Amino acid sequence: MSNLLVIKEQLAGFFSRYEVYVIAVLKFVLTLVALLLINSNLGYMSKIDNGAIVLVVALLCAFLPMNLIVIILGMFILLHLYALSLACAAIVGMLFVIMFVLYLRFSPSDSATLIIMPICYMLRLPYVVPLTLGFVGSPMSCVSVACGTVTYFMLDYIKNNEEQIASYSLDSESALGSFKYLIDGLLGSDQMLLMVITFAVVVITVFMIKSLPIDHSWKIALALGVIVNILIILIGCSALEVDLSIGGVFLGTIVSSVIVFIIQFFIFNVDYSRTENVQFEDDEYYYYVKAIPKISIEAPDVNVKRFNSYEDGEYEEYEYDE
């Protein structure tokens, strides 16, 4: 345990010193993974399904704000869909704008969620995101979780029905009818509705419980979040007649809670204060200050008790701390 605490402190120290680079690398990796997943699942436009383009865009995104990265990824998706079917690209484009309007007003700082949520779905661990956002976000984070969920289900539907969607765009007579089919397919999933509701309740529950002034509030919040997640999905599955593997939900939630527990350990009570580069002046001087936070890594306390026996039967006790 003490080794873990040292690692945690070292991580905090590393982050505070190299924050600029760490964030750029994280953005690069996130964009690269997202672009590769988009290209492998929806690679309809061969021009942008290209390793060099993906690498250049990911490198560029390393230095852009998250909201802009979300827009660039959205454009990538729309270009692929345009190559598949114009009607499909138009409908998904409209839905993206509606979601963007919703999320931008309420939780603009959670843009990474929109990208991480579909990736977690592909890893079959979507429960990690609402549980984590309950701790690090606000109740409004449920908007970005919902947008991420809707995006994943839309793209999953398109991937599974690509032939049908492509045939609609070729046949001009059925072009008008294709909108009905597309909107029904994109938004008509009961499973999507169930997940949006479940995750919203989980985010709000975890946020409220962890904010309570009680001991171990975050552990209770995590446990309750897990229970609420499983319960709502179980009830929802029977009410909406959604065909979902119950074993998968149990296993996914438990594994997710372990991951959140680990994430929690590294973010809870750690001062990730940053290195500050500031400039200011007074009447006498110009100041160019680089303030690096002090990180003290304490060596773990080792308490050694040693008992030596003597021939005369007396015992002497040594006790010292290292």
Partner 1 sequence: MLNEDRIELMTKMAAYENRQGKKDISVNSYFRGDYISFQVLKSALYATVGFALAVAMYILYDLEGFLTDFYKMDIAEFVKDIGVKYGIVLVVYLLLSYFIYAYRFGRAKKHIKKYVSQLKELEELYEWE
Residues of the shown chain interacting with partner 1 in the complex, contacts defined by CB under 8 A? 91, 94-95, 97-98, 101-102, 104-106, 140, 176-177, 179-180, 183, 276, 278-280, 282, 285, 287, 289, 291
The smaller minimum CB distance to partner 1, of residues 278 and 304, is found at 278
124-to-117, 128, 178, 183, 291 alpha-carbon distances in Å: 10, 10, 31, 25, 42
The smaller minimum CB distance to partner 1, of residues 66 and 230, is found at 66
State how beta strands 303-309 and 315-321 pair.
antiparallel
Largest CA distance in the chain: 108
Considering the complex, what minimum distance in angstroms separates the CB of residue 274 from partner 1? 8
Concatenating the DSSP letter of every residue in 79-139 gives: HHHHHH-HHHHHHHHHHHHHHHHHHHHH-GGGHHHHHHHHHHHHTT-TTHHHHHHHHHS-T
Considering the complex, what minimum distance in angstroms separates the CB of residue 212 from partner 1? 19
Considering the complex, what minimum distance in angstroms separates the CB of residue 278 from partner 1? 4
The smaller minimum CB distance to partner 1, of residues 133 and 260, is found at 133
Considering the complex, what minimum distance in angstroms separates the CB of residue 310 from partner 1? 57
The DSSP element (H or E) to which 288 belongs, if any, is strand 286-291
Considering the complex, what minimum distance in angstroms separates the CB of residue 122 from partner 1? 27
The smaller minimum CB distance to partner 1, of residues 7 and 176, is found at 176
Buried b or exposed e, range 273-288, using 16+ CB within 10 angstroms? eeeeeeeeeeeeeeee
Could you tell me which residues are beta bridge partners of residue 291? Answer: 276
The vertex-77 CA angle with 76 and 78, nearest 5°, equals 90
Considering the complex, what minimum distance in angstroms separates the CB of residue 307 from partner 1? 50
Considering the complex, what minimum distance in angstroms separates the CB of residue 157 from partner 1? 16
The smaller minimum CB distance to partner 1, of residues 40 and 167, is found at 167
Q: What does DSSP assign to residue 290? A: E
The smaller minimum CB distance to partner 1, of residues 8 and 17, is found at 17
For residue 208, what are its two tokens?
């409220």
The smaller minimum CB distance to partner 1, of residues 103 and 121, is found at 103
Could you tell me which residues are beta bridge partners of residue 150? Answer: none
